[in-house]
Amino acid sequence: MERLSSDMLFSIAIYLDYPEIISLCGLNSKINGLLCQREPIWLYKLNTDYPDWKSFNINSSMNIIYRTIYELDVLNRKLNLNYSLIGLYNTETLDLRHNNITEIPPEIFNLINLLELDLSDNKITKIPPEIGNLSSLQILDLSNNQITEIPPEIGNLLSLEILDSGEITGIDLSNNKITEIPPEIGNLINLNALKLNSNQITKIPPEIGNLSNLLELELDDNRITEIPPEIGRLTDLMYLHINGNQITEIPPEIGNLVNLDGLLLIDNQIREIPPEIGNLRSLQMLDLSKNQITKIPLEISNIINLLELDLINNQITEIPPALEYLLYNNILILH
């Protein structure tokens, strides 16, 4: 009787698509056990619908193999990608810019070989936790969307780093509505660039100091009031941009960033330049315009590679004689 029931279910299921089969098996545990938990229906469907399924080399059950390839097929048609299914499964780059996408298709998270995912300039409001499944991902661009939150699962993307013809890239979530950087960001120890410009972030988490390979950090146009002392642990950092925030103080730990090439803290509420700034001997560009600074520390003269010091729109009334050479050499800009 059980065999007859199984044969009957099989004869019905061969005419159904994947969601319909799953719906049928969801009616009760007996149907699920006689149909979906057995391999014959999935092997039949694979041979019928995707005869080249073995070339995918997916090491899993027949059910999972069929579901994976079926979802690739759905993704291909949903976004008009025009890939072969095997080509989509093996793709390393997926460019979905400017597509009016409102939700990240869950089928994307089957692309385990993906190195670069560009979903910029869409209308996405949420990053699903399944983003953490893309363990090979090196570049993630979600800039210019409507995202309000970074899920903690972002910390699973341990391969995020730098690629793309030598341009510094990594995570770009600029121009969204993000209010908080999750502490799990500190897990991304291979990250080279983190761009969160034009959001609503109020705090830089101390875990930022774990990003020992970070080369570029951009947090322009947020609501940040403080630079944490842990910033001093980013000793490979070359570019630090935190313009257009509400920062009142530069921590002395800034002096640890000996590889810094550009430091831009324009349009904040900074009152003083710490003497430790003189440790930044690699610094070429220091822009502290539009702040509340009243004097220039003599230690500035230790920055031997400085090409531009912009202090426009501050409250500086005099230049120490020892620093007048900065004016003569057109390094210092005050007006």
DSSP notation for 187-217: G-TT--EEE--SS------GGGGG-TT--EE
Q: Is the pLDDT of residue 102 over 50?
A: yes
Q: What are the residues whose beta carbons fall under 8 Å from the beta carbon of 57, sequence distance 6 or more?
A: none
List C-alpha distances in Å: 91 to 135, 158, 320: 14, 19, 59
**pLDDT(66) > 70:** yes
User: Using one digit for the tens of pLDDT, what is the confidence trace for 256-266?
Assistant: 999 999 999 99
Distance of CA 102 to the CA centre of its chain: 18
Spatial distance between the Cα atoms of 57 and 74, rounded to a whole number of angstroms: 20
Tell the residue number behind the tokens 């109020």, with chain if given. Answer: 202
The stretches of 94-162 forming alpha helices (DSSP H) are none
Structure-derived torsion over alpha carbons of residues 270, 183, 229, 249, reported in degrees to the nearest 10? 10
Asked whether residue 13 carries a pLDDT value surpassing 70, the answer given is yes
Asked whether the predicted pLDDT for residue 289 surpasses 90, the reply is yes
pLDDT tens digit sequence for 319-329: 999 999 998 99
Decide if 258 contacts 278 (C-beta within 8 A): no
| pLDDT at res. 96 | 95
Give me the residue label for tokens 């003083």.
272
- Token readout for 111 is 């692309």
Task: Give the range with max mean pLDDT: 131-140, 170-179, 263-272.
Answer: 263-272
Average pLDDT of the chain is 93
pLDDT at res. 164? 36
> Does residue 192 contact residue 164 with C-beta atoms inside 8 Å?
no
Q: What is the pLDDT of residue 165?
A: 32
Q: What band does 162 get if pLDDT is binned at 50, 70 and 90?
A: very low
CA 286 to chain centre: 27
Distance set, CA 119 to CA 97, 133, 209, 237, 325 (Å) = 5, 16, 27, 26, 48
What pLDDT does residue 212 have? 93
Give the per-residue pLDDT at 334: 87
- The DSSP H or E segment spanning 310 is strand 308-310
Count Cα atoms within 13 angstroms, Cβ side, for 120.
15
pLDDT recorded at residue 187? 94
For position 82, what pLDDT does the model report? 86
